[in-house]
Amino acid sequence: MSRSVNVGILGTGSIFRAYAAGIATLPELTVTRVADVDLERARTAAAEFGIPAAGTTEELLADDDVEIVVNITPPAVHAPLNEAALRAGKHVYTEKPLAATTELARANLVTATETGRTLGGAPDTFLGTAGQTARAAIDDGLIGTPFAATSFVRSSRVQAWHPSPGFFFQAGGGPVLDWGPYHVAALVNLLGPVRDVMGANAMAEKELAVTAPERTVESVPVEVPTHATSILRFDSGVLATVMYSFDVWDTELPHLEIYGTGGTLSLPDPNTFDRPVRIKRRGDTEWSELPAVTEAKAPATGPFRGLGVLDLARHLDGGPHRASGDFAFHVLDVLERMSLASPESGALTVLSSVKRPAPLDRP
Ligand SMILES: NC(=O)c1ccc[n+]([C@@H]2O[C@H](COP(=O)([O-])OP(=O)(O)OC[C@H]3O[C@@H](n4cnc5c(N)ncnc54)[C@H](O)[C@@H]3O)[C@@H](O)[C@H]2O)c1
């Protein structure tokens, strides 16, 4: 890209630092303004990262210098803020889930079309070396024909580190909508769209003590299921066995594995970018690490975000849109079916579909 695109960040809470620090490493993006309902928080955040302007949402949306709005507010307000930003003429990259429901997310996609603006959404972790290396391995036939997958999330123990974890346990949260996006985005990137979902949901506890050292609340009510188990059937016929839970405190299950006729791929936590992908092909006696097919962007330690915003900026410059609104919508659609599935409902059809995003160029 020949220019740097100006970005305004809406929401300066827990994940803000990962965005501000991550985007600072990407010369094609510049954060020029931040906003938050908590003005003091916005000002402190701007000062910490040398961002020139901080203020209200209205000021951010009225700022002609801001081309892309990055929406990192809680899930319940994603949709109205996406809507307002698109109507204000901004391109939008929103944190996951795209919106709290597919109905709200669909309205955002319609607004993007009406306004001629582009909507993109998290997660962008599948753009890291692990997602791209696994994708290349599948496309190159290293494990033969994929026929099954497993995808497991144990508790993120959010009550032990997030100062105000209430939204993780309310509508728009829960393990399916909070962690599911990383896994389902990784799976759709590797295996294509999901056709239908069977499953069931449960809740182990109705109230949780918050133990985070900087907590602002002592306990949070649990308002959504915190344990989900499903079978996802892909258009290709691949069957994924899935368990996403906030209740399983720990487990030795793998994060994500893809099983093919010629071998198995073992992926790292899909909420990370650049960790190794391992393979064991039919006949191998040992697992081996695949060489990364793309350049690592995320630091080895510490949280990092920004590749999805870069993907959107490059798309505005004529490139493919990978972490697109349509992709995030399909992921949300699958996750919503997971949340609604029960033995009584039988299989729930996923009505949306999406092509696998273009792989990143291999150097
Ligand atoms: N915390 C994480 O580790 C993490 C990781 C990846 C993604 N996410 C996603 O990022 C988003 C934000 O998560 P978080 O943990 O930073 O939340 P948070 O509650 O810590 O921060 C959200 C911020 O948004 C502000 N806000 C709320 N409503 C607003 C409004 N109407 N207008 C402007 N500002 C508003 C709040 O004041 C707060 O500062 C969520 O969608 C979450 O799923 C979080």
Ligand 1 pocket: which residues have CB below 6 Å? Answer: 10-15, 35-38, 41, 57, 72-75, 77, 81, 95-96, 164, 178
Alpha-carbon dihedral angle through residues 328, 330, 334, 337, given to the nearest 10 degrees? 110
Q: Is 7 helix (H, G, I), strand (E, B) or coil?
A: strand
Domain boundaries, the chain: 5-121, 128-295+325-349
pLDDT 10s digit of each residue in the chain, 363 long?
Answer: 778 999 999 999 999 999 999 999 999 999 999 999 999 999 999 999 999 999 999 999 999 999 999 999 999 999 999 999 999 999 999 999 999 999 999 999 999 999 999 999 999 999 999 999 999 999 999 999 999 999 999 888 899 999 999 999 988 789 999 999 999 999 999 999 999 999 999 999 999 999 999 999 999 999 999 999 999 999 999 999 999 999 998 999 999 999 999 999 999 999 999 999 999 999 999 999 999 999 998 887 778 999 999 999 999 999 999 999 999 999 999 999 999 999 999 999 999 999 999 999 998
Query: How far apart are the CA of 158 and the centre of ligand 1, in A?
Result: 14
Q: CA angle at residue 118 from 34 to 61, to 5 degrees?
A: 30
Looking at residue 301, what is its pLDDT? 75
Question: Which among 9, 10, 15, 59 is the best mutation to test ligand 1's pocket, defined by most ligand atoms within 8 Å of the CB?
Answer: 15
Contacts of 137 (CB under 8 A, 6+ apart): 143, 265, 277, 279, 290
Alpha carbon distance 138, 256 (integer Å)? 14
The preferred substitution site among 9, 10, 12, 14 for testing ligand 1, maximizing ligand atoms within 8 Å of CB, is 14
Nearest CA to ligand 1 atom 5: 15
Nearest atom within ligand 1 for CA of residue 41: 39
What fold is seen in the domain 128-295+325-349? Dihydrodipicolinate Reductase; domain 2 (3.30.360)
- Asked if the 5-121 domain carries CATH number 3.40.50.720, the reply is yes
Residue 73 Cα: closest atom of ligand 1: 24
Q: What percent of the chain has pLDDT over 90?
A: 94
Structure tokens at 238: 């691949």
Nearest ligand 1 atom to alpha carbon 164: 19
